[in-house]
Structure 1
């Protein structure tokens, strides 16, 4: 949510307030041409608010009662004034409120703080814990947990890791310096290295060729065009100009499950969704424990019996405030027996 919402209505229990925009007004937005209701009560009576409702239902199907907004929801207008139901609607105005957030079963893994200073927290995110509020996980994510544990509502993730991926995640603690660090990620000026365990092609044995001509210690590149389809979890590799690039280095091969697996160092040079997982699967070497590639098994998010063997192993960058070289390494390890 934008800083506007945080400024006039602080997070509750580590969860950022939601934002609504009223119909009408002179600025361009989706509801500008809709009629402006006479009162806040009339407006809110017809609004269906997306809300997490557990694993089976991701969106609320019924409007919240208007009384919720001015009670527990603490509806506040863009001037910072608490709203009453009989108030006139501000045409095109912004309003913020606290959504109802259902109970969530705890994800039974802890966050390890690798580094902290006045501006940054670098943590080891465990697999199965989301980086940020996302879908059914609002309370059970790194940002919400860290806000609550530290009593710091300004903590935000500077980048993200897939929920099933473990390893290093950088968090900003102060809005005043956040933009400088976010710019590093936007400009791809952060060196990110991942470690992974992956199946080697069926029937492979030592001495056989591997995709891309991979050999122990040799680095090769995978380039392809990736496309995310709305409503689908897997990302597709499609024909066309490459928009995703990954460096791949085989570190070692080892027997696994009646076949062979490899340990790899992976460096993403672009930041596409699921990029490393898609590239490895597309080479016929899917990551051990991957619930989506090459086949989406639609696992229960509370099934922790199989762990994706992918770690964000290293972050390195020149600090934008001091010029100091910063390098961080994960304390987590891979384990083929957990795949």
Structure 2
């Protein structure tokens, strides 16, 4: 799909129900008109949907002028539009909780199953769109991410002028992130211990795997409590690889409860809302780059021990 609107440039369409407009840069001049171009560029979107959007004036150029079905497609044009889903979304029956808000940051306790941003089959049922619709913060942007399956603390910026200062904290790895997970016992290790490995993309685009070589991922693992064959771990990722905690625990023989990706990616059968991944981003701590104040934000959610 196209790119999301940039917060610091002119945007000819407003945020609508929490959804920011997207845009395309046209890299060549094509015959056949705008409707033909859009239906060929987005084959998964029904032509009737694009025709209706053009008729409603919801596809515009860089100056906000509505485009027509027969409008010329010229190299260098910027075309703005709203992303829509032709099929309805499955409601995510869990709500986010706002933990903190000031003139710079918004800190949220994300539920399981809720994606961070619009992607694939998710649009309105995403944390970013929900928050924009609820709080009317058009410049809201996450400055780090959580997996859709993971719950817990996540931080957004809604001030363009100070966003870079907070983003740099994550780039410099000066933010302390603590997670908790429920999994089986890890044998052969004295706690706490540090696990390292070399993580690379797996043969399926949505999973990671490990290979021999120089480690590029590191996690400190602590044992909090054990109940029978289930253990609650505290995890401190010193690097931020995709699915790092999930892969590390699975590689240690203790996959996180209800993990559908590790150690084996299961066939997609849709979400089972009764069995969320038992991984929680418990807290985030950092020294505020604007004030120097030490800050810690903690999730109020709990993991669900099996009965």
TM over 0.5: yes
- 1:269 matched residue in structure 2: 238
2:295 match = 326
Pair 1:93 & 2:66 matched? no
Q: CA-to-partner distance for each residue in 1:80-132, whole Å, 9 max, x for gaps?
A: 33323444333122211112224213211111111111111111111111121
CA distance in 2, matches of 1:250, 1:73: 58
2:181 is matched with 196
> Any gaps of 5 or more consecutive residues in structure 1?
25-34, 50-59, 202-209
Choose from 8, 11, 17 the match for 2:12: 8
Aligned residues: 302
| Of 80-89 and 127-136, the range deviating more from structure 2 | 80-89
The 3 A distance-change label for structure 1 pair 69 and 230 is farther
Change (3 A) 1:132 1:41: closer
Q: Please list the CA deviations of residues 14-69 of structure 1 after superposition, one character each: whole Å capped at 9, or x if unmatched.
A: 11222222233xxxxxxxxxx533743553453325xxxxxxxxxx1654565334
Equivalent of 2:271, from 268, 289, 302?
302
> Normalising by the residue count of structure 2, what TM-score does the alignment of the two structures yield?
0.89
Structure 1 residue 312 and structure 2 residue 281: aligned?
yes
Residues 89 and 181 of structure 1: is their aligned pair in 2 closer, same or farther, counting only changes over 3 Å?
A: same
**Equivalent residue, structure 1, for 2:218:** 245
Mapped partners of 1:241, 1:197: distance in 2: 29
Q: State how far apart, in whole Å, the 2-side matches of 1:41 and 1:138 are.
A: 23
Is the aligned partner of 1:236 residue 2:193? no
- What TM-score do you get using the length of structure 1 for normalisation? 0.81
Q: Is the 8 Å Cα contact of residues 5 and 21 (structure 2) preserved in structure 1?
A: no
Gaps of 5+ in 2: none
- Structure 1 residues 43 and 308 mapped into 2: Cα distance closer, same or farther (>3 Å)? closer
Structure 2 Cα separation of the partners of residues 145 and 69 of structure 1: 23
Cα gap change, 1:66/1:125 in structure 2, threshold over 3 Å: closer, same or farther? closer
1:116 to 87, 101, 110: 101
For 1:309 and 1:321, locate their aligned partners in 2 and report how far apart those are by CA, in whole Å: 34
1:73·1:97 contact (CA, 8 Å) conserved in 2?
no
1:18 to 13, 16, 22: 22
CA distance in structure 1 between the partners assigned to 2:49 and 2:115 by the alignment: 30
What do you get for the CA RMSD once the two structures are aligned?
2.3
Shift of 1:273: 0.8
Is it true that 1:214 corresponds to 2:217 in the alignment? no
Partner of 1:179: 164
Q: Does 1:148 align with 2:133?
A: yes
SS of the aligned residue for 2:249 comes to helix
CA contact (8 A) 1:129 1:163 kept: yes
CA distance in 2, matches of 1:121, 1:227: 32
How far apart, CA to CA, are the structure 2 residues paired with 1:230 and 1:75? 38
